[in-house]
């Protein structure tokens, strides 16, 4: 049976000051259809109010956006915000696999306790909002062959992926036990403007601009499926409006690339040499390949629109044109993180 396409006018977007969340807010407000958004964001090292600047500087959009700084695990704060929303889209998470290996606790606090607080508030709200949990292809673990489908086993292999899988399972339990109207999306590796420079593509672009070494883990033959950020945001919106209660939807980019090949394309666009690349000690438990079947979401009418060459060009151009943004992000605690993550790797690199 086809689900009705729903319209939501008052959205709570948690984690909306991050990379994908801010793109989602930008795209929904940019439709200028009267939708009002409250962003709830803790502004961790990854959250950035500058990501919301394009909306704040547009008076019509600014009038429809409220920003609340706070934690999704704070039940007193979350309750009234959820009570005033027609739908909740939860982007909030610690999102970097390497940091989950160094310091896993915050991943569990936000990914498990935080999600639980949101679900309890939805359950308690007099007019229960629809809840969308933004999850990841990493919950399937490494896919040696073929493409993961939504009913496949969850086999997370990093603390990050385990926390995301736990969050999804909590959502599922609230649908079954409490009749909550909730849906889950599993997106693939996302790239584009406003991406924190700790992740592969923006790290290598910004290091290469400065002629710094590029730390490639292991043989660089790990494969990722790349999804442009506005396509990911559109996929989430398609599921919010048309997804069936209790269902999970893969959002697959359909661009499977070995890391080495992605790095070569970036260097070519920047006019920088391969000699910047250093083969460094691998990430522990490194998933070799991610690949998902996207046909379930295609049946709702969503398909990715950005081809990889155009998306990479747009991304490289954005970092070249927005140095002030990424240099500010690569300040403060950045050097200490970089030394901890890469210091000895780079000193023993080949
Ligand atoms: P991000 O790290 O850029 O943004 C996360 C945002 O959540 C930040 O603004 C941060 O301040 C906020 N946040 C963290 N903990 C919070 C808390 N306790 N309370 C309130 N806000 C909090 O991450 P992203 O790349 O934009 O990812 C967003 C979501 O999409 C995450 O749930 C992630 O697991 C998922 N996802 C990401 C990708 C990807 O490739 N980036 C792919 C699939 C799924
Ligand atoms: O697949 C979806 C996931 O994609 C999201 O759920 C995560 O939030 C997001 O961070 C991303 O996870 P990855 O671990 O795949 O992304 P990352 O950019 O960290 O790494 C991409 C690939 O590049 C991976 O194979 C590891 C490799 N890599 C990464 C870094 C940061 C390197 O070789 N060197 C590096 O310095």
Number of compact structural domains in the chain: 1
Answer whether residue 219 is part of any domain: no
Pick the catalytic residue from 71, 94, 137, 237: 137
pLDDT at 1: 53
Interval 248-267 mean pLDDT: 98
Asked if 160 is an active-site residue, the reply is: yes
Report CA-CA distances (Å) from 256 to 145, 227, 252: 12, 10, 10
Answer whether residue 38 is part of any domain: yes
Cα–Cα distance measured from residue 280 to residue 221, given in angstroms and rounded to the nearest whole number: 13
Assign residue 145 the CATH number of its domain: 3.40.50.720
C-alpha torsion 204→207→213→216, nearest 10: -20
Minimum-distance ligand 1 atom for the alpha carbon of 164: 34
Interval 125-147 mean pLDDT: 98
Answer whether residue 267 is part of any domain: no
Answer whether residue 301 is part of any domain: yes
Answer whether residue 16 is part of any domain: yes
Report CA-CA distances (Å) from 96 to 45, 114, 151: 11, 17, 25
Tens of pLDDT, residues 41-53? 999 999 999 999 9
Q: Closest Cα to residue 35, out of 7, 16, 5? A: 7
pLDDT at 4: 75
pLDDT at 65: 98
Domain that holds residue 38: 10-194+227-254+285-305
Answer whether residue 155 is part of any domain: yes
Q: Closest Cα to residue 22, out of 36, 8, 45, 41? A: 41
Answer whether residue 5 is part of any domain: no
Residue 120 has pLDDT above 60, yes or no: yes
Tell me the ligand closest to 143's alpha carbon.
2
């Amino acid at each position: 049976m086809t689900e009705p396409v729903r319209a939501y006018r008052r959205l709570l977007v948690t984690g909306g000051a991050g990379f994908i969340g801010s793109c989602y807010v930008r795209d929904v407000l940019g439709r200028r259809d009267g939708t009002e958004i409250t962003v709830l964001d803790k502004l961790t090292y990854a959250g950035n109010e500058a990501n919301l600047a394009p909306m704040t500087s547009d008076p019509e959009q600014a009038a429809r956006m409220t920003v609340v700084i706070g934690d999704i695990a704070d039940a007193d704060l979350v309750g009234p915000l959820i009570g005033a929303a027609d739908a909740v889209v939860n982007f909030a998470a610690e999102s970097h696999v390497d940091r989950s290996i160094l310091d896993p606790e915050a991943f569990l606090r936000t990914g498990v306790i935080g999600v639980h607080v949101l679900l309890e508030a939805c359950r308690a709200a007099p007019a229960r909002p629809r809840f969308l949990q933004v999850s990841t292809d990493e919950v399937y673990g490494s896919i040696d062959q073929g493409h993961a489908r939504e009913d496949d086993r969850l086999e997370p292999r990093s603390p990050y992926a385990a926390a995301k899988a736990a969050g999804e399972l909590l959502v599922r339990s609230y649908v079954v036990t409490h009749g909550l109207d909730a849906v889950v999306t599993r997106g693939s590796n996302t790239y584009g403007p406003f991406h924190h420079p700790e992740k592969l593509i923006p790290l290598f672009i910004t290091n290469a601009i400065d002629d710094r070494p590029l730390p490639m883990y292991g043989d660089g033959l790990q494969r990722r499926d790349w999804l442009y950020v506005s396509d990911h945001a559109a996929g989430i919106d398609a599921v919010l409006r048309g997804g069936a209660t209790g269902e999970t939807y893969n959002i697959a980019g359909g661009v499977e690339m070995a890391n080495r090949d992605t790095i070569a394309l970036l260097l070519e666009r920047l006019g920088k040499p391969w000699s910047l690349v250093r083969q460094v000690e691998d990430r522990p438990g490194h998933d070799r390949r991610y690949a998902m079947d996207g046909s379930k979401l295609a049946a709702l009418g969503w398909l990715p629109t950005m081809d990889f060459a155009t998306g990479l060009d747009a991304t490289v151009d954005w970092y070249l044109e927005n140095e002030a943004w990424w240099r500010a992000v690569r300040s403060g605690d950045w050097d200490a993180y970089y030394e901890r993550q890469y210091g000895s790797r780079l000193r023993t690199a080949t």
